[in-house]
A = this chain, B = another copy of it.
Amino acid sequence: MTVAPERLSTISSDVVNPAVSLSCRYCGATYALSPTHVCIECFAPLEIAYDESALRRVTRASIEAGPTNLWRYVGLLPAGHDPARRVSLGAGWTPLRPATRLAAELGMRTLWVKDDSANPTHSFKDRVVSVALSAAREHGYTTVACASTGNLAQSVAAHAASAGLRSVVLIPHDLEDGKTVSTAVYGGTLVAIDGNYDDVNRLCSELSGEYEWAFVNVNVRPFYAEGSKTLGYEVAEQLGWRLPEQVVVPIASGSLLTKIDKAFGELGRLGLVEPTPYRVFGAQAQGCNPVAAAFARGVDTVSPMKPSTIAKSLSIGNPADGPYALDVARRTSGAITDVTDPEIVEGIRLLARTEGVFGETAGGVTVACLRRLLREGLLDPDAETVIFNTGDGLKTLDPLVSTGKPTATIRPSLAAFETAGLGD
């Protein structure tokens, strides 16, 4: 609905949808392209299958002629091909910032921050929600729903409002005022559940069996997850159509990491970039590190755990895509590591102090893991590296209150200022 107007004239409405079916990740069974997410044969997750010849019609020029948002990649996505039905607040095409001061402090040669706090509701969730809600509308849904404790809630409520869709957002009853307010303001149905996040999730799954609604991370999940590919496409295009040598990606469900890898692979296969080697590193909080723990133990199975960390947006104790993330890290000679809560706070402050970018706790996890990977010699300081800041610090202020104090508190006088040693 809100395509950047300056580019309206250049958007072609005849881009075909390259998605043709859903296929089971495990047994390969195929299904019609529709809002469903589990294989009825083997209960494994479904994913979008594309017509390779349709994907091959996408060129650098066709992308560059598109809008300055994620819809420039619509030819590689499973929804949103008719601009008139697209649900969009303009997510994507966020800055890839050269992090020269952070690189210097860490002793690295070339470092970039892909800064998704610049999205409309200030997290990377706007990408997946925009694709999911476009798919929902194309498949005839008028109500969209989700369970969330934060970024997803605000993004679903905002996008639904802009498109005139009804939203039903389920949250735990004890959520901070700030997160409740910034979701309620859009006027959708916001349901507080007297229970913890697991209770909220369980109810959401039950509801998906009862109501003909688009549940963004349940029945629409195959479409939703593909939205994350655009982060990988953008990095490559913003580097001048080439792949970085190393990336560091935060892990919650593991979906984002695997989709960035998928995007890099697609670009190489389709001839849009040289298929140069790259290494994928994953970042977790020690208080919720099931994937990092499996990596450390050298095993393929991810053991669920009960999260306890300030990085709430990464607090998925039983990550659906954990095994796939492990596979990507091992296949690309990367690694998956974790950091403590104090290291996360220090990571947030380090990024802010050197680059002027205030990331949320997930961004702090990524910066702190980058530092740990360097210290342990797992990541090459001389190889070009991209780290992902997936959300805005304004959303997770609480962990910073104890360290975010003024330098000094003084009386309003020049003498007091000088006595406090605040001058030159």
Contact = CB atoms under 8 A, between A and B. Distances in A.
Contact of A352 (B161, B195, B212, B349): B161
Given A96-B6, A101-B162, A206 B354 contact: no
B211 A424 contact: yes
Interface in A191-213: 191-195, 199-200, 202-203, 206-207, 210-212
B413 A203 contact: yes
17 contacts: A1-B100, A2-B355, A5-B240, A6-B237, A68-B68, A89-B356, A122-B392, A143-B424, A162-B355, A173-B409, A178-B397, A180-B405, A185-B348, A191-B409, A195-B412, A199-B412, A211-B424
A410 B193 contact: yes
Interface in A82-127: 89-90, 95-98, 100-101, 112, 118, 120-122
A6 B238 contact: yes
User: Shortest 5 CB-CB distances between A and B: which pairs?
Assistant: A162-B356, A181-B404, A187-B353, A199-B412, A158-B356
Given A5-B239, A95-B4, A406-B184, A189 B422 contact: yes
A356 B410 contact: no
A186 B1 contact: no
Q: Which of A2, A182, A194 has the most CB of B within 10 A?
A: A2
Interface of A: 1-2, 4-6, 68, 89-90, 95-98, 100-101, 112, 118, 120-122, 143, 154, 157-164, 168, 171, 173, 177-178, 180-182, 184-187, 189-195, 199-200, 202-203, 206-207, 210-212, 237-240, 348-349, 352-358, 392-395, 397, 400-401, 403-414, 417, 420, 422-424
Contacts of A417: 191, 203, 207
A244 to B, nearest CB: 12
B238 A414 contact: no
A178 B122 CA distance: 17
